[in-house]
Chain A
Amino acid sequence: MKLPTVTRSIRTRLFLQLAAISALLSVALFLVVRGLAETAAEATQDGILAASATSIADALRSEDGEITLDLPYSALSMLGTTNDDRVFYKVEVNDETLTGYDDLPPPSQSPTISENTFATFYYRGDEVRMVSASRTVSAGGVPSNVLISVAQTRLGLAAISQRISAIATGIGLVFFLVATALSLLAARSALRPLKEMTAAITRRGPADLRPLAIDPPTELEPFVSALNTFIARLRASLLRSEDLIAEAAHRVRTPLATVRAKAEVTHRKLQKPEHKQTMREMIRAIDESSRSAGQLLDHAMVTFRTDSLSTETFDMAELVRETAERLEPAADLKDVTIRCTTPDTTPAFTGDRILLQSAIQNILDNAIKYSPDDSAIDVDLSVAETMCLSFTDRGRGFGEADTDSLKTRFSRGANVDDIVGSGLGLTIADEVARAHGGQLNITRNEGSQGACVSLIFPRQ
């Protein structure tokens, strides 16, 4: 049988178990309180009954060789002090009734001079408690055994018992509620480390594969250590595959360069225009492959370097201009102008220069690729609350594609079927931005065509 879903929660289970325990304890408390209080109330009634019997016994005297008695007023009135119960008594001398209620039954256990006996039974329609005391009185020189019995109904006791039960119920209920509330807190507090650990893991970036740096409670240590071992294995495995890709890309790039050189030479030698055209297309394909291999290498490098970010201080404006200059030959081929606008002074930026260069290069590379011939790309660096580096082209934009999904690996715009690309460029830029605590924004150009890609970093 499948357990209901609620019991799958440790907290609910813990809470229910604690609540069940406190319910049990409440019932036990109720029984103990009631038991003790009723015993005390019964002992009080027994005490008054015994005092009454003693008072009657003390009033016994011998007169003209006969035992006689003036029943003390207080002996009976004291029984009426705490309740309105009915009172019965009997005094017997040598088993013959001297005075009192003749039909009051004898005690089941005979009392001795030193010890009274108590009995509970039904008499005249009510439950009564009876004390019996024994005395030896000399009457005319002959010792006689006198048995004094005083009985009282227990309605007052029943009322007290009812009141006590109500109080005990209240105490039990309050105890249960308090204990339950506390167990709710206890369950929550016991599971707090688990919650904190979950939060710590959830907060991590997708590429954060460092071991967990939290101090877990003893019970969770094996779990955390197992988790860390697992993370280490995963990380090693990821690094291996990135290594493999980098190695593969590297190995492909060199032969591709050779093939391109040969193809250039052949292109010049060819006479027929259709042959020249074929060869040009071949060279373009080789260029794309080489570029993709380069990006794969870049991406592997980004993945590797973000794990252990190097921190150097440099001028962002200078880096932007330098990178733009490097890409000018490629831009010139399409008559695309790169216009860099930077403030006169920019605050020093601390981060991984190589990674940032790679990010800027990939974005510019993309922009050039998608720009129409004879157009301009604007690179703007502005420093306000954040440091914002935006790249605006006049290209075709990203169509209707989800701008967030463009940041994922091998994802490309919705309108790029005629242009070869790997879909890694923006992924690299995005990862670099996030490694520096910033973000990559992709927006459509307002008014004119084209797209705007911005790298935004917090001020340092």
Chain B
Amino acid sequence: MRLTDLPAAIMAILGLTSAAFAFEIEERARYPAANPETELRIISTADRAVFEPILLAFQQQNQTISIDYTIASTTELMKAVHAEGEAFDLVISSAMDLQTKLANDGFARTYRSPATDALPDWAKWRDQVFAFTQEPAVLILSETAFPDEAYPTSRDELIELLRDQPDRFRGKVGTYDVRTSGFGYLMATQDARVSENFWRLLEAMGRLDTQLYCCSGDMLHDIREGKLAIAYNVLGSYAQAQLEDGGGYRIVMMSDFANIMLRTVLISTKADNIADAQTMINFLASLESRPDLVAASGLPAVDTDALQSNVALRPIRLGPGLLAFLDRLTRRNFLRNWEASITQE
């Protein structure tokens, strides 16, 4: 039983759900339009700094739409939409599996337009879930820990390095806590699905008192602070954006394989403002035609050619397969194995 269910029930009874949310929000921002007529309510996992340029550009084109932008973690977002049925118009998340589950379980509205038809087949599912970015999971290496060109570029080399020099990296390796981060869980399960090396890597990391994080931002922060030497499975787009701000680390795209997460958007069946939600979908689906926004947000647009030029890039496929790791028994077993490996119990 989820602890959050109780306050949600109380809120519902008191009729306060519109005023406050029963799920944990990280931040809520309002962008009033120049000539406000309608309001588009978005729940998203994307940080405000990352997404703001896109929202402002959207408002530039649509001057009557105010935007209410709520940021939550992938897990809390799922809780808000799936369990509590919050009335958001648009749901934007980096957790493809959870977005797929929302569509599969009937929480998404079907929409087709020339812009969505122009998306490649792998970038949409059921005409309900639409991908608008492709962001790799990368390895982050601190420049102080790896000053020269001798650094690992594949999981095999990383395992070897961690095994050979345990004292150098003890307490200085970080990764997602997959128990709390939906994105972390998605990346971990995809790693496990593709390669048995994942469990060996986890064993190696577990022996080194690996630090667990909720978000990529925190990991990058600790890398810059020198608390971490290695961060595994960091969201590449954030790392790239912050590299330009401060730096102090190296972004390594794994040469054996690099999972590509597709940031997806869907219109909720609870949406009040469907028309504006559709306008936003069209805007996001044609992100490739706005290189200025790609640069400003650091979110790479969907691009088939970029994937074909590097065979190590593996875009995670939208579809019912993603539901397998969301199965409660499978998830419990996976987390148990993960905990056993990372905590060495």
Chain A residues near B (Cβ < 8 Å): 68-77, 79-80, 84, 86-88, 91, 98-100, 124-125
Inter-chain contact B333/A68, CB cutoff 8 Å: yes
Is B105 a contact of A98 with CB atoms below 8 Å?
no
Take A84-B125, A86-B104 as given contacts and tell me if A70 and B330 are in contact as well, using a CB distance cutoff of 8 Å.
yes
Interface size on B, residues (CB 8 A): 22
Interface residues of B (CB under 8 A from A): 103-106, 125-127, 193, 317, 319-325, 327-330, 333-334
Residue of A nearest to B192 (CB): A73
Complex contact A99–B327 (CB within 8 A):
yes
Alpha-carbon distance between A393 and B323 when the two chains are bound, in angstroms? 117
CB distance from B109 to the nearest CB of A (A): 12
Q: How far is the CA of A73 from the CA of B324 in the complex (A)?
A: 5
Give the shortest distance, in Å, between A92 (CB) and chain B (any CB). Answer: 12
Q: Which of B125, B319, B320 has the most CB of A within 10 A?
A: B320
CA gap between A79 and B323 in the complex, in Å: 11
A75: nearest residue on chain B (CB-CB)?
Answer: B324
- Please determine whether A70 and B333 come into contact, CB atoms closer than 8 angstroms: yes
Q: Which residues on the B side are within 8 Å of A71 (C-beta)?
A: 324-325, 327, 329-330
User: Contact: A86 with B125, CB < 8 Å?
Assistant: no
A80 (CB) vs chain B CBs: closest residue = B319
Minimum CB–CB distance for B242 against chain A, Å: 32
Bound Cα distance A79, B322 (Å)? 11
Cross-chain contact of B106 among A73, A98, A99, A124 (Cβ < 8 A): A124
Provide the bound-state CA to CA distance between A70 and B334, in Å: 8
For this complex, 14 residue pairs linking A to B, each with C-beta atoms less than 8 Å apart, are A68-B333, A70-B334, A71-B325, A73-B321, A73-B325, A77-B319, A77-B320, A80-B319, A84-B125, A84-B127, A84-B319, A86-B103, A99-B328, A124-B105
Question: How many angstroms between the C-alpha atoms of A73 and B317 in the bound complex?
Answer: 11
Residue of B nearest to A101 (CB): B105
Cβ of A134 to closest chain B Cβ, rounded Å: 19
Beyond A73-B325, A99-B329, A124-B106, 20 additional contacts (C-beta under 8 Å) are: A68-B329, A70-B333, A70-B334, A71-B330, A72-B324, A73-B321, A73-B324, A74-B321, A75-B324, A76-B320, A76-B322, A76-B323, A77-B324, A80-B320, A84-B126, A86-B104, A87-B320, A87-B323, A91-B329, A99-B328
Q: B106 near A125 (CB under 8 angstroms)?
A: yes
Closest residue of A by beta carbon distance from B330:
A71
Expressed in whole angstroms, the Cα–Cα distance for A344 and B319 within the complex equals 110
- Whether the pair A76, B324 counts as a contact (CB closer than 8 A) is yes
Shortest A71–chain B CB gap in Å is 4
Q: Given A70-B330, A71-B330, A100-B327, A77 and B106 touching (CB < 8 A)?
A: no
Which residues on the B side are within 8 Å of A75 (C-beta)? Answer: 324
Say yes or no: B330 contacts A77, CB within 8 Å. Answer: no
Q: B329: nearest residue on chain A (CB-CB)?
A: A99
In the complex, what residues of B have CB within 8 A of residue A125's CB?
106
A362 to B186 CA separation, bound complex (whole angstroms): 121
Chain B residue at minimal CB-CB distance from A83:
B126
Per the bound structure, the CA–CA distance linking A124 and B106 in Å amounts to 7
A76 to B105, CA, bound (A): 14
CA gap between A75 and B103 in the complex, in Å: 19
**In the assembled complex, how far is the CB of residue A329 from the closest CB belonging to chain B, in whole angstroms?**
111
